[in-house]
């Protein structure tokens, strides 16, 4: 009984250390193989261990002048790879640990092998570290020593110790024992790689919110020296220029989302009137054609706009032929009614598609209702208003509530492609603003603050929408 | 399968006949007539607005280039030729970006479908350790978003900038598609699976031999949505590939061509072609080249769409009833 308690605790330590070790492999801030300032800040030990060209990207001059020998970098490269492989072997060992005694034993052996491999690699990196210190030009090569190697070494030793202890403590399995694992753990191990992927691409970015609290420029490191607290949050409102920007951007965002909301009934009307066309073949045809624009990208929508409305496009040449104008006019280069134009393009792209759901809902309405109404003398529009619309209303309301939740997220594609120097003031929406601010102008902390605020407001709106939907039709949308 | 479609056709025919008979009996008042005319003409105009631009671009790519430059080709093509399409081989990097787009569409879609199928199957297994937590762990990611900048920093931290893998890996786990597959698999009778498990089949085998073939309709649906999404992807190329023009997707290339200067030199490589610059200008012009590139980007979707429409519609309906 006591032994079991000890082993379960040891396993806990072992698994956590393996997990941390494997995650650290992918984090550039903790890269022990960054032994010189010439090695990029964005390289993790995994990248530097498997892509030699990325590791030595900036070493061209150092090699040719003889400041650093190729031997050093090669050893660094191979050692980094060995460290990675070691931790991956440990991970495999850790994965075997939920199995039967035999699997546990093999898992521990694997972990021991993995940690020893990793320690050998760590020694290689240490060797390269010392070697690069002896460079003839320390100003350019900037030899570095970081604690990250120590972190990896400590993790490896921790795993090694726990594995050895577990190896000793656990009873020896029968020779005839089969490789078996409880199904619940087997299934978990099968799904684990995908959980990790999900974590890396959806949860890890949340960690980037910390940039909002630092004075960060691209390529810098984050340290306590440039911690600025809530400076960027107040800056957003205190700086006149950014405040004006934010107000304008919010106005555009809300105006365009608002127009979208105000016209969201159009899809329902489209579906109702489409169903008034009794010839099935024509109806089918219309539905097919009108849904096509939904499947082309906004860039292609812009290509279409370009073909129709640019200087030598369709509209200009028709108007020239009719003698209305003398020279071609580029209608895309204007700032008139941008909000309405954007709405129109959105309708062109999405109306047919959003109608499909209503068309399906209409075909589900009981035909007897219509027959009864006709007998009672209801006209076409009365039937629409009193039968069709009420039956579509729940669907409509739920979609509307969802749209309200997404009021700040217009997406940036549409506005990015249609934006130009004439209309930038009126099409700049929040998503596009964050992109321009962060990626084009390099104001990463400020853009992060704006994005953060947007994300938080959006999620609050979503929960609100969920509540409303629960009230309307009794089930939640999330 | 064949029998079913026959049956469907028969049903449709009957329905149409019924409607025809109905119409003959139905007396049309002048009010109805006006309504029919207005209604039909509205839909006619909207449909035309949806298809005409594509037609316009197309006829301008296959008509005589001099007439196109003058703006004379508006409704009817004249002087048919396909030189513009042949000339695309000389357009800077177009072939590379076509290769990038096609390969990311193929690889990305295949991986996404396989993983969605597999994960969708796994999360239906009630005996999994912590199943509910892990399922929520995946699903919740649909509803929050760290924002563009943290996403970008994360990608560059992972070494996925200027790297082809950036197109593939982040898309592998698609929560929404996993939900769709899970819902579908739950509707498959459990007895089928149980009988196989009694026979001693492993999870992998059950998945391969029973679940995968049975869930083909839903897998086809998500495959089509995934493929269209990959083909249309533009933002990731724009943001993640600043220093790797050889990795730009077709949409990104098209975007930069549309915004490029109006002279041909900006678009065409002068070195590789045997014709001199001015001669080239005679046969081609920037307008037609832009149109032709647009056409090449649209054509796959236009070609695939009519055949796949029922899958698309299935997709939106599944999305609506999800819960």
Which has the higher per-residue pLDDT, A450 or A398? A450
What are the tokens at A446?
Answer: 């400020």
Say whether pLDDT at B56 is over 90.
yes
> pLDDT at position B18, please?
63
- Asked whether residue B6 is assigned to any structural domain, the reply reads no
Co-location of B37 and B153 in the same domain: no
- Asked whether residue A220 is assigned to any structural domain, the reply reads no
**Which of A35-39, A149-153, B218-222, B299-303 is the least confident region?**
A35-39
Window A:116-155, CB contacts with B under 8 Å: none
Q: Which helix (H) or strand (E) holds A345?
A: helix A338-363
Q: Testing the interface with B: which of A194, A302, A446, A458 to mutate, by most B Cβ within 10 A?
A: A194
- Asked whether residue A186 is assigned to any structural domain, the reply reads no
Q: In angstroms, what separates the C-alpha of B276 from chain A's closest C-alpha?
A: 25
The pLDDT of A374-402, averaged and rounded, is 88
- Asked whether residue B33 is assigned to any structural domain, the reply reads yes
Co-location of B104 and B227 in the same domain: yes
pLDDT in tens, A94-116: 888 888 888 888 899 999 999 99
Residues of A in contact with B49 (CB under 8 A): 348
Question: How many domains are there within chain B?
Answer: 2
Whole domain around residue B44: which residue ranges?
11-81
Q: In angstroms, what separates the C-alpha of B313 from chain A's closest C-alpha?
A: 7
Q: Testing the interface with A: which of B14, B122, B149 to mutate, by most A Cβ within 10 A?
A: B149
Co-location of B193 and B316 in the same domain: yes
Most confident of A311-315, A377-381, B248-252: B248-252
> pLDDT at position A223, please?
62
The verdict on a CB contact (< 8 Å) between A44 and B157 is: yes
Co-location of A25 and A113 in the same domain: yes
Co-location of A370 and A278 in the same domain: yes
**Binning pLDDT at 50, 70 and 90, where does residue A432 land?**
very high
- Asked whether residue A202 is assigned to any structural domain, the reply reads no
The pLDDT of B105-114, averaged and rounded, is 96
**Binning pLDDT at 50, 70 and 90, where does residue B104 land?**
very high
Long-range contacts at A16-21 (CB < 8 A, ≥ 24 apart):
A17/A155, A17/A158, A17/A159, A17/A162, A18/A87, A18/A90, A18/A91, A18/A93, A18/A94, A18/A111, A18/A159, A19/A94, A20/A155, A21/A87, A21/A90, A21/A118, A21/A152, A21/A155, A21/A156, A21/A159
> pLDDT at position B116, please?
95
Co-location of B314 and B189 in the same domain: yes
Say whether pLDDT at B270 is over 60.
no
- Asked whether residue A114 is assigned to any structural domain, the reply reads yes
Between CA B280 and CA B265 the distance in angstroms is 10
- Asked whether residue A194 is assigned to any structural domain, the reply reads no
- For residue B268, give the 3-state DSSP assignment: strand
The pLDDT of A34-42, averaged and rounded, is 79
Average pLDDT, chain A: 87
Q: Please choose, from the candidates A40, A39, A41, the residue with its C-alpha nearest in 3D space to the C-alpha of residue A72.
A: A39
Strand partners, A178: none
- For residue A381, give the 3-state DSSP assignment: helix
Residue with tokens 């090569």: A141
Window A:160-179, CB contacts with B under 8 Å: none
Question: How many domains are there within chain A?
Answer: 2
pLDDT in tens, B129-188: 889 999 999 988 988 888 899 999 888 877 788 889 999 999 999 999 999 899 889 888
Say whether pLDDT at B265 is over 70.
no
Residues of A in contact with B317 (CB under 8 A): 357, 360
Which whole-number Å values give the CA distances from B207 to A158, A416, B114, B118, B202, in the listed order?
Answer: 39, 43, 11, 7, 8
Between CA A32 and CA A156 the distance in angstroms is 14
Between CA A391 and CA A387 the distance in angstroms is 6
Co-location of A301 and A437 in the same domain: yes
Among B81, B99, B133, which residue terminates a domain? B81
**Binning pLDDT at 50, 70 and 90, where does residue A1 land?**
low
**Which of A85-89, A195-199, A403-407, B195-199 is the least confident region?**
B195-199
Co-location of B75 and B138 in the same domain: no
> pLDDT at position B101, please?
94
**Which of A265-269, A376-380, B129-133, B304-308 is the least confident region?**
B304-308
> pLDDT at position A377, please?
85
Co-location of B73 and B139 in the same domain: no
The verdict on a CB contact (< 8 Å) between B149 and A298 is: no
- Asked whether residue B153 is assigned to any structural domain, the reply reads yes
> pLDDT at position B261, please?
56
Among A181, A211, A241, which residue terminates a domain? A181
Among A181, A199, A217, which residue terminates a domain? A181
Among B51, B81, B111, which residue terminates a domain? B81
The HSE-up count of residue A217 (CA atoms within 13 Å, CB side) is 1
Q: Which residue of B has its CA nearest to A217?
A: B153
CA angle, residues A239, A240, A241, in degrees to nearest 5: 95
Tell me the CATH number at B102: 1.10.3720.10
What are the tokens at A371?
Answer: 């027959």
> pLDDT at position A114, please?
93
Say whether pLDDT at A170 is over 70.
yes
Q: In angstroms, what separates the C-alpha of A26 from chain B's closest C-alpha?
A: 6
> pLDDT at position A478, please?
61
- Any CB–CB contact under 8 A between B18 and chain A? no
ipTM of the complex as predicted? 0.84
Which has the higher per-residue pLDDT, A299 or B28? A299
Co-location of B29 and B96 in the same domain: no
- Asked whether residue A192 is assigned to any structural domain, the reply reads no
Torsion of CA A48, A51, A53, A58, to 10 degrees: -20
Q: Which residue of A has its CA nearest to B161?
A: A42
**Binning pLDDT at 50, 70 and 90, where does residue A300 land?**
very high
> pLDDT at position A472, please?
74
Q: Which residues of B92-102 are buried (b: 16+ CB within 10 A; e: fewer)?
A: bebeebbebbe
Q: Which residue of B has its CA nearest to A202?
A: B141
Q: What is the pTM of this model?
A: 0.84
- Any CB–CB contact under 8 A between A203 and chain B? yes
The verdict on a CB contact (< 8 Å) between B74 and A26 is: no
Co-location of A14 and A159 in the same domain: yes
> pLDDT at position A477, please?
63
- Asked whether residue B60 is assigned to any structural domain, the reply reads yes
The pLDDT of B68-79, averaged and rounded, is 83
The pLDDT of A340-356, averaged and rounded, is 92
Report the residue from A194, A278, A292 with minimal CB separation from B119.
Answer: A194
Residue B311 makes CB contacts below 8 A (sequence gap 6+) with B220, B221, B224
Co-location of A242 and A171 in the same domain: no
Co-location of A112 and A259 in the same domain: no
> pLDDT at position B16, please?
67
Which has the higher per-residue pLDDT, A208 or B100? B100
> pLDDT at position B274, please?
42
Between CA A302 and CA A55 the distance in angstroms is 40
- Asked whether residue A210 is assigned to any structural domain, the reply reads no
Between CA B24 and CA A126 the distance in angstroms is 92
Tell me the CATH number at A465: 1.10.3720.10
Co-location of A177 and A236 in the same domain: no
Say whether pLDDT at B106 is over 90.
yes
pLDDT in tens, A65-76: 888 888 888 899
Whole domain around residue A7: which residue ranges?
2-181
Co-location of B285 and B153 in the same domain: yes
The pLDDT of A334-351, averaged and rounded, is 90
- Asked whether residue B1 is assigned to any structural domain, the reply reads no
Average pLDDT, chain B: 82
Co-location of A16 and A105 in the same domain: yes
pLDDT in tens, A234-260: 888 888 888 888 999 999 999 999 999
- Asked whether residue A224 is assigned to any structural domain, the reply reads no
Q: Which helix (H) or strand (E) holds A137?
A: none
Say whether pLDDT at B267 is over 60.
no
Among B81, B107, B128, which residue terminates a domain? B81
Which has the higher per-residue pLDDT, A327 or A270? A270
DSSP state of A172: P
Among A164, A181, A198, which residue terminates a domain? A181
> pLDDT at position B20, please?
59
């Amino acid at each position: 009984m006591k032994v079991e308690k000890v082993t379960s605790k040891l396993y806990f330590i072992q698994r956590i250390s393996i997990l941390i070790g494997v995650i650290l492999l992918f984090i550039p801030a903790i890269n022990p193989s960054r032994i010189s300032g010439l090695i990029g800040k964005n390289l993790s030990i995994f990248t530097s261990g498997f892509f030699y060209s990325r590791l030595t990207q900036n070493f061209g001059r150092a090699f040719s002048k003889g400041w650093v020998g190729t031997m050093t970098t090669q050893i660094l490269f191979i050692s980094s790879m060995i460290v990675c492989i070691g931790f991956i072997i440990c991970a495999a060992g850790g994965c075997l640990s939920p199995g039967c005694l035999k699997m546990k034993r093999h898992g521990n052996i694997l972990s021991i092998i993995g940690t020893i491999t990793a320690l050998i690699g760590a020694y290689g990196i240490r060797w390269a570290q010392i070697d690069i210190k002896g460079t003839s030009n320390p100003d350019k090569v900037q030899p570095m020593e970081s604690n990250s190697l120590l972190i990896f070494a400590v993790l490896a030793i921790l795993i090694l110790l726990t594995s050895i202890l577990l190896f000793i403590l656990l009873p020896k399995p029968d020779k005839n024992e089969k490789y078996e694992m409880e199904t619940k753990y087997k299934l978990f191990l099968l799904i684990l790689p995908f959980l990790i992927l999900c974590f890396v691409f959806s949860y890890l970015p949340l960690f980037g919110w910390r940039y909002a609290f630092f004075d960060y420029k691209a390529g810098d490191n984050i340290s306590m020296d440039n911690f600025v607290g809530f400076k960027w949050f107040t800056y957003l409102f205190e700086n006149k220029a950014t405040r004006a920007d934010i107000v304008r951007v919010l106005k555009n965002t809300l105006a365009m989302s608002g127009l979208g909301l105000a016209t969201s009934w159009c899809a329902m009307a489209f579906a109702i009137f489409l169903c008034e066309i009794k010839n099935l073949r024509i109806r089918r045809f219309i539905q097919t054609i009108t849904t096509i624009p939904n499947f082309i990208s906004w860039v292609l929508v812009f290509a279409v706009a370009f073909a129709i409305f640019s200087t030598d496009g369709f509209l200009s040449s028709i108007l020239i032929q009719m003698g209305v104008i003398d020279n071609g006019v580029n209608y895309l280069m204007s700032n008139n009614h941008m909000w309405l134009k954007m709405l129109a393009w959105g309708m062109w792209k999405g109306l047919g598609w959003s109608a499909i759901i209503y068309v399906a809902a209409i075909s589900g309405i009981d035909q007897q209702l219509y027959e009864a109404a006709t007998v009672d003398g209801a006209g076409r529009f009365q039937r629409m208003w009193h039968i069709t619309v009420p039956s579509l209303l729940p669907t409509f309301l739920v979609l509307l509530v969802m749209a309200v939740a997404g009021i700040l997220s217009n997406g940036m594609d549409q506005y990015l492609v249609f934006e130009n120097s004439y209309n930038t003031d009126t099409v700049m929406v929040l998503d596009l603003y964050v992109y321009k601010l962060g990626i084009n102008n390099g104001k990463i902390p400020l853009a992060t603050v704006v994005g953060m605020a947007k994300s938080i407001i959006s999620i609050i709106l979503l929960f609100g929408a969920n509540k409303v939907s629960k009230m309307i039709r009794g089930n939640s949308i999330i | 399968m064949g029998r079913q479609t026959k049956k469907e056709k028969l049903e449709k025919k009957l329905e149409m006949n019924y409607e025809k008979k109905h119409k003959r009996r139905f007396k049309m008042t002048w009010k109805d007539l006006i309504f029919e005319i207005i209604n039909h003409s509205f839909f006619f105009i909207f449909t035309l607005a949806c298809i005409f631009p594509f037609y316009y671009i197309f006829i301008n790519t296959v008509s005589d280039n001099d007439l196109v430059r003058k703006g004379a080709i508006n409704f009817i093509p004249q002087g048919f030729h396909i030189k513009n399409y042949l000339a695309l081989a000389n357009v800077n990097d177009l072939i590379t970006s076509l290769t990038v787009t096609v390969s990311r569409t193929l690889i990305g879609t295949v991986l996404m479908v396989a993983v969605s199928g597999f994960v969708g199957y796994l999360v239906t297994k009630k005996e999994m350790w912590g199943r509910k937590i892990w399922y929520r762990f995946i699903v919740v990611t649909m509803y929050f978003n760290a924002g563009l900048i943290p996403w970008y920093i994360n990608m560059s931290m992972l070494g996925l900038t200027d790297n082809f893998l950036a197109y593939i890996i982040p898309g592998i786990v698609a929560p929404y598609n996993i939900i769709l597959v899970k819902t579908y698999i739950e509707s498959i009778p459990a007895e089928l699976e149980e009988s196989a498990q009694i026979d001693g089949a492993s999870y992998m085998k059950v998945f391969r031999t029973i679940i995968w073939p049975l869930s083909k309709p839903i897998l086809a649906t998500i495959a089509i949505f995934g493929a269209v999404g990959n083909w249309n992807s533009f933002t990731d190329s724009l943001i993640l590939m600043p220093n790797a023009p050889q990795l730009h997707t077709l949409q990104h290339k098209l975007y930069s061509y549309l915004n490029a200067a109006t002279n041909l030199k900006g678009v065409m490589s002068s070195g590789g072609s045997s014709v001199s610059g001015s001669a080239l200008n005679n046969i081609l012009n920037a307008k037609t080249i832009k149109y032709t590139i647009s056409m090449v980007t649209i054509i796959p979707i236009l070609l695939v769409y009519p055949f796949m429409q029922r899958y698309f519609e299935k997709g939106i309906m599944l999305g609506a009833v999800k819960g």
